Amino acid sequence: NAGVTQTPKFRVLKTGQSMTLLCAQDMNHEYMYWYRQDPGMGLRLIHYSVGEGTTAKGEVPDGYNVSRLKKQNFLLGLESAAPSQTSVYFCASSWGQGARYTFGSGTRLTVV
């Protein structure tokens, strides 16, 4: 089925550990986004990409890095995890401005 796939679905990290979240889409979308969702805060944009090889900072980029080496994949990295990064992370993709977003099923990350 066409859509956005996120891996892993759940992860527990110790403070200071690193990890990479993978987002893959098969809709040939140019634009991809990483959001975090915390209780009562809605979804906040971490980083985004407007095409292969490009990335840009969103509203809450500190502590995260991203890469888009292939058009279909958008990676989110945490170099040194902190408890404040405990959250649910959603990836989304779209055709561009004015186009609907398709979201992945999310990654629930806990940092202890």
Task: Count Cα atoms within 13 angstroms, Cβ side, for 27.
Answer: 22
| Least distance to other proteins, CB of residue 23, Å | 12
CB 53 within 8 A of CB 45: no
What does the radius of gyration of the chain's CA atoms come to, in whole angstroms? Answer: 13
- Any residues with CB less than 8 A from the CB of 2 and at least 6 apart, and which? 26, 27
Which residue number, 17 or 108, has a Cβ lying nearer to other proteins?
Answer: 108
Which residue number, 2 or 14, has a Cβ lying nearer to other proteins?
Answer: 2
Tokens of 10: 């759940």
Chain contacts with other proteins (rule: CB under 8 A): 31, 33, 35, 40-45, 48, 50, 56, 58-59, 90, 94, 96-106
3-class DSSP state of 38? strand
Which residue number, 17 or 94, has a Cβ lying nearer to other proteins?
Answer: 94
Which residue number, 19 or 45, has a Cβ lying nearer to other proteins?
Answer: 45
| Least distance to other proteins, CB of residue 78, Å | 20
| Least distance to other proteins, CB of residue 26, Å | 16
